[in-house]
Structure 1
Amino acid sequence: MVEAHSQKQQIQQVVYRILDANLDRAREGLRIIEEWCRFGLNDAQLAETCKHLRQEVSNWHSAQIRAARDTPGDPGTVLTHPQEEQRSSITSLLQANFCRVQEALRVLEEYGKLHDANMGKVFKQMRYQVYTLESTLMGHQRHQLLWRSHLYLVTSPVDNLLETVEASLKGGLTLLQYREKTADDLIRLQRARKLKQLCHDYGALFIINDRVDLALAVDADGVHLGQQDMPIAVARQLLGPQRLIGRSTTNQQEMQGAITEGADYIGVGPVYETPTKVGKAAAGLNYVSYAAKNCSIPWFAIGGIDASNINDVIDAGAQRVAVVRSLMQAEQPTLVTQYFISQLYRK
């Protein structure tokens, strides 16, 4: 009986140590997320949600559990992973800490059942709350970055696709659309995964042209739809409220239709005739001027824009432009990206 009692006490101490470590881990991760909500987003409601969750975690951190802590005897204090030593962007930092919190809450949910019958239930519900918080916050992040993005690169098939995109990202690009109409799906999937990783390494948004299924498969930030693609409402049902949906428009009616449908942004053009849109007449600078006065969501002038005419497009009212050939075929994409951005910020 004595041995059984002693063994039970030992197991209880181990459980307390596990609870202690994961209560700390959950609270620390929530604090990191809270700081970004407070100072990065200036969002009092999201910050308050994080604070409430953090305080709820703290309420379970009793003196009894804390007393079981044995930092010198914990082999986990010397374990590390190369990915923990660097964060390439705010997005990767937030995602890492959401994962940290969710894993900790799952541990607390399971081991908590051995400590208090109610503890498992509480942390199960909290885990679902954190999933919702992550969805809301990452959607918020996407929309904020969209509003801050002034240059949008739409890819075209080139041999040095990844190199060109990375060079543009180094120049300050924050919004990329992967557009490829003819490659096999497997090739597109592989390229999309690599491009998405590149974009997120540089803190940029990654959009897929047309293909909602591909956007979901690679967890892209959104999708761009043409006038003949599926309705925005259907895409929204599939993608959820937190991903971005863009729509191409060529005239005033299409612009108003896209806004009414719930597009997050639109393309305005083609401003000039372009081989990217064979046979499509240019919408011209008048449409750019109309958008500048009437469009209530982010919009990007697109179509035949290059270094020789970007200032005409800006003078017509554009604050954001999308380009294809002028970057995809550039000898020095980094410098061209920097030039475009400098012109877009000059007003």
Structure 2
Amino acid sequence: MKKLCALLCVLMMLSMALFANGNKEEEAAKAEGFKGIIKIGVLGPLTGTNAEYGVGFKIGTQMAADRINAAGGANGYKLILVPKDSKGDPKESSDLTRQFCDDSDIMAIIGDFTSGCSMANAPIVDDAKIVQLSPTASNPKYAGMSDYCFSIMGRQDGEAPFFAKYIISKYMGVKKIGLIYINSDWGVSAADNFRKAANEAGVEIVTEVNYVQDEKDFSSLITKLKAANPEALIIMDQGAVAQVINQVRAMGWDVPLTTLGPGTSEQLIGLTGANSEGLILSTPFFFDPQVPELMAWKTEFNDKAKFNPTVHPACAFDCVNLIAQAINSCGDTVTRQGIRDNLARNEYTGITGPIKFNKDGDITRAYLICQVENGQYVVKKGFDYSAE
């Protein structure tokens, strides 16, 4: 009984401390001229294999919040972001999502990075009736799982077929491909959609292998792939692509390499060096040197992150602006439901392009073909390539 009473006292003191801190934030915001504060939860893998992308989320979202607050806030409210480390683990992500849902100050959630984490959270946000807007989840099943689930990356039933039909078959002229992919919700979806499109394009997958999250040694899988003698190898993942590339080259295999997942990640080039020379990939967005606004954004991000951005933090940046636009449309009373309803019907043009949600809550993207040349990414074909 004494232990229980002590525990209750600790919890009560913690709650009072959190309440007092919340009041201080509210009072400070009002002193700055805001109506008050609105908090947004941010979920991403700040540690682990995909930490580059989670850190990118954290920095990209804060860049957006800083700009919005400097311009007077969202509907007069100061936006405060609450970032949490999901570690790329669905269970961890779900536990953090429940915490956000139980906190009445959290009005929306941005994240998570992977489709697996976002899908694990879908029934939780559905019960709580709070938006989960993922910058990057691309499993076609994700957004349709709940009226409160949204994503702006585009879907794997769009990108994977583009990869098979236009990058592998048309651009590279390859008819026999080897496939290695991560065995996750995202990886399985990407592989499934790629297989179907490859078959339609007359591309034979001569062999395929998969691996689990945090795998380190790919030698036996690479040996199997090499024995099938494919004309090129496609890697479907985000975090382990660099390790796979390095181990392929360490085994003396000079097969042409392609990858679906990491976008134009500068860290990928940094981790692979000359091993990634010639690497071909798809991306829905590229920092065009001819657009000063994009270059300024890239420079600001790099100054804060100490690495160059991919499409992923750019999408995270756009997500905050989408939520802010939805808050602006709420009028005098900002609610979780109001944010959801306005988000679903509003249109927005961000740094990653035009965003208009379909009935499922995700969007259709067009894709560029990029290649690593002399240690940097260059655009080889534009958004209109599939229409040629």
| TM above 0.5 | no
Q: Return the structure number with greater strand share.
A: 2
Range into which the TM-score falls when normalised by the shorter chain: under 0.3
Q: Which structure has more RCO (C-alpha within 8 Å, separation ≥ 6)?
A: 2
Q: Give the helix-richer structure, 1 or 2.
A: 1
Between Structure 1 and Structure 2, whose CA radius of gyration is higher?
1
